[in-house]
Each structure stands twice: as C-alpha cells, then as structure tokens.
Amino acid sequence: SGGGGAGGAGGISKRGTGGAGGAGGAGYGANVVGGAGGAGGAGYAGGNGGAGGAGHAGTSANGGVGGAGGAGSTGSMAFVLYCAGTMNLASMTINAQGGVGGNGGAAGSSGNVNGGAGGAGGDGADIIMLSLGALSGSYTITNNGGAGGTGGAKTGSGTVGATGASGSDGAQIIAQVINT
C-alpha cells in the first residue's frame, strides 16, 4: 500500500498572505504512513504549512511530515523615499512575516511508532527604507520568521516528531540618508 496523499502547496499571493498548504491524507491500510502536508505559499506574509496526515489507526505507521511555511516577500523590500523634508511614517504597518510550519502527523495507534516531524517556518522579508529627509512617527513592521511546526505524537516507545526549525527573521534598515 502507498502512503497517504500529500497535501497541495498553497498559492502565491502578490499582495497579501500566501495560501495555506493542504493537509496530508491519513494513511489507509496496514502500516501506511500519513501523507506530508503541503508547503504554504509565498506572499507579503507567507502562508502556513499544512499538517501531516496521521498514520493508519491500529497499525505501526509513522505520521506524515508537516509542510513548510511560506516565505514572506522574497528578497528585500526596498522603499526608497526621496523626500527633502520630514517623512511622517505614523500608523504605517508592514506585514512581511514568514508562515508557520505545519504540524507533524500523529503516529499510528499500534506498536512503537514515530510521530511526523513539524515543517520549517518560512523566512521573513528584509525591509529597507531610506529617505533623504528625516523620518518621524511610530510605525509597525512585522517581518519575523515563522515558527516551526510541532512534531506529531508518538505511540508506545516511539519518538515524538521533531519540531520544525524557525524561519529567519528579516532585517530592518530604516534610516535617513545624510549627504556629506
């Protein structure tokens, strides 16, 4: 028997949050492992990865691996502000964080079986803002990497699935360019 079906990848979004990855299918049949979760799509904010499918109930089947979270906007987001006077950034909000990794699937309920590993979190985007004029006002930028997914539950003396790695935080460079 084959494993459970893998979840589909989330769609890419050019202006919003990437689509979430689909969940992996549960294993069906003796010792069939759960399917892997689909990866989240990239976007200004990355989509969340899909959960791994559970191993077939009543058998010694491993849980599926969670899908990876999608990345925030790929590469650096460069905002070059050519302003001779003060640039007021009050109430500006930028959300370019990475998606959360999918959770690993649970092990089958019989035997000593491992849970599926959690998916990795997506990376946050770099934010670069340069202005000729002064920058003022409070603003909010969220460009941290997504958290890794939780590992799936074990059965018996198996092992709990590994937690997925967290995504990398994006850099923030917000400064006034001073001509000398």
pTM, to two decimals? 0.78
At residue 73, the pLDDT reads: 67
Backbone angles phi, psi at 78, to 5 degrees: -105, 120
Q: Dig out the tokens for 45 from the structure.
A: 């904010």
At residue 31, the pLDDT reads: 76
At residue 99, the pLDDT reads: 92
The pLDDT tens digits of the residues spanning 149-171 come to: 999 988 888 899 899 999 999 88
Burial 88-121 (b: 16+ CB within 10 A, else e): ebeeeebbbbbbbbbbbbbbbbbbebbbbbbbbb
- Under DSSP, the state recorded for 131 is E
Alpha carbon distances (Å) from 82 to 79, 133, 138, 168? 10, 7, 19, 30
* Closest to 66 (Cα-Cα) out of 138, 134, 6, 3: 6
Q: Per-residue confidence of the chain (180 residues) as pLDDT tens digits? A: 456 788 888 888 877 888 998 988 888 877 788 888 999 988 878 899 999 888 887 777 888 899 998 888 654 555 556 667 788 888 888 888 889 999 998 888 777 788 889 999 999 888 888 888 888 889 998 999 999 999 998 888 889 989 999 999 988 888 888 764
Amino acid identity, residue 142? T
β-sheet bridge partners, residue 175: 130
At residue 150, the pLDDT reads: 92
